[in-house]
């Protein structure tokens, strides 16, 4: 199966650049929904990298980054790097697809490369700029918190709640800066996983290569990861602040991984019980919007090692008995 088509590459290049730029700008300027829209930035880069080849995919990413940077000006280097990193997810994910690795290695390698690249870019900028990397991140978060406050005002939230939020901004900023490693890793994991799921039917529908990861609603996190949860929990109880922060960051990352497993369980039963697509969409939306439901999904993913909600261990045991 060929990875590259030889149709009209110039037209395809312009189309890919336009689509990716529009998604990026929508993510940049749409209030509230902007972050959700931004998740889709890697998808056209991934698709056209698979269709047109590595060099064209790289040029698409560069072109989109330059367009976004020109529109942003010097207002925010972090926003430009953010959208570059999103596009890079698509480029790297397509490259890793070609390696035909397991789904765990595909997500881990893509996430690692993207985070490392972003860290190097911001560190270099921090060295060349009068502002430090810590200052860059602090300014970026402060601007976003102010934007959130402005959105709440437009939504006619009560003045009392807005006043409480305004008074809490410094505290929120303090906490977010200290869990920034976890926020970056969790956000990247979510973007990589989401685009992996979206890319599979898209690539296969256009006869482009996509690894066979099997039935992903039967996916389970590697069992040794439970020790990272235990170690993170122990570190949170330590008197040393640095160790506590390390534990908190570790626990947040583990929660995302077990969220993936929890969602796989939910998807498994949606398919098994043949839930209508509309009902599935409503329930997925409920999971995204309701924190309690979200925590229940994470808990289900973590407890699945012992409870085996999908009865997969029983199926494996029955197969082993039939072979003896």
Q: pLDDT tens across 115-169, in order? A: 999 888 888 877 777 766 677 777 777 777 777 777 767 666 677 777 777 788 8
pLDDT digits (tens, 9 = 90+) for 126-137: 777 776 667 777
Position 66 in a domain: no
3-state secondary structure of 278: helix
Find, among 56, 44, 185, the residue nearest to 114 by Cα: 185
Question: What pTM value is reported for the model?
Answer: 0.86
Residue 264 structural domain: 215-324
Position 55 in a domain: no
Position 170 in a domain: no
Above pLDDT 70, what percent of the chain? Answer: 89
Position 15 in a domain: no
Beta-carbon contacts of residue 137 (< 8 Å; ≥ 6 apart): 78, 122, 177, 180
Distance of CA 113 to the CA centre of its chain: 14
Position 253 in a domain: yes
157: its two tokens:
């939230």
pLDDT grade for 93, boundaries at 50, 70 and 90: very high
pLDDT digits (tens, 9 = 90+) for 32-78: 677 788 999 999 999 999 999 999 999 999 999 999 888 876 556 77
Position 57 in a domain: no
Helix (H) or strand (E) holding 135: helix 133-154
Tokens 């599935």: give the residue.
280
Domain count for the chain: 1
Mean pLDDT of the chain: 86
- pLDDT for the residue numbered 190: 95
Distance separating alpha carbons of residues 260 and 193, to the nearest angstrom: 8
Find, among 239, 289, 292, 297, the residue nearest to 268 by Cα: 297
Position 242 in a domain: yes
User: Are the C-beta atoms of 44 and 199 separated by less than 8 Å?
Assistant: no
Position 238 in a domain: yes
Task: Output the furthest CA–CA distance in the chain (Å, rounded).
Answer: 71
3-state secondary structure of 252: helix
């Amino acid at each position: 199966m060929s990875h590259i088509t030889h149709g009209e590459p110039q037209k395809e290049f312009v189309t890919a650049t336009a689509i990716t730029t529009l998604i990026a700008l929508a993510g940049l300027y749409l209030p509230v929904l902007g972050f959700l829209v931004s998740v889709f930035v890697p998808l056209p880069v991934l698709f056209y990298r698979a269709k047109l080849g590595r060099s064209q995919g790289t040029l698409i990413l560069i072109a989109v980054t330059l367009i976004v940077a020109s529109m942003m000006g010097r207002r925010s280097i972090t926003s430009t790097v953010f959208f570059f990193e999103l596009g890079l997810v698509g480029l790297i994910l397509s490259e890793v697809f070609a390696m035909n690795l397991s789904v765990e290695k595909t997500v881990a390698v893509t996430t690692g490369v993207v985070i490392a690249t972003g860290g190097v870019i911001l560190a270099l900028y921090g060295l060349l700029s009068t502002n430090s990397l810590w200052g860059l991140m602090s300014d970026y978060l402060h601007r976003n918190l102010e934007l959130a406050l402005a959105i709440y005002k437009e939504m006619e939230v009560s003045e009392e709640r807005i006043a409480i939020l305004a008074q809490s901004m410094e505290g929120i900023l303090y906490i977010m800066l200290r869990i920034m490693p976890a926020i970056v890793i969790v956000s990247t994991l979510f973007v990589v996983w989401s685009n992996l799921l979206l890319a599979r039917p898209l690539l296969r529908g256009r006869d482009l290569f996509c690894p066979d990861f099997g039935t992903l609603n039967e996916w389970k996190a590697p069992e040794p990861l439970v020790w990272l949860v235990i170690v993170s929990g122990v570190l949170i109880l330590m008197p040393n602040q640095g160790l506590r922060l390390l534990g908190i960051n570790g626990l947040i990352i583990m929660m995302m991984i077990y969220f993936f497993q929890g969602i796989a369980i939910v998807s498994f039963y949606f398919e098994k019980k043949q839930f209508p697509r509309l009902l599935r969409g409503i329930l997925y939306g409920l999971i995204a919007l309701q924190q309690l439901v979200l925590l229940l999904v994470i808990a289900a993913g973590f407890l699945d090692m012992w409870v085996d909600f999908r009865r997969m261990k029983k199926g494996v045991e029955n197969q082993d008995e039939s072979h003896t």
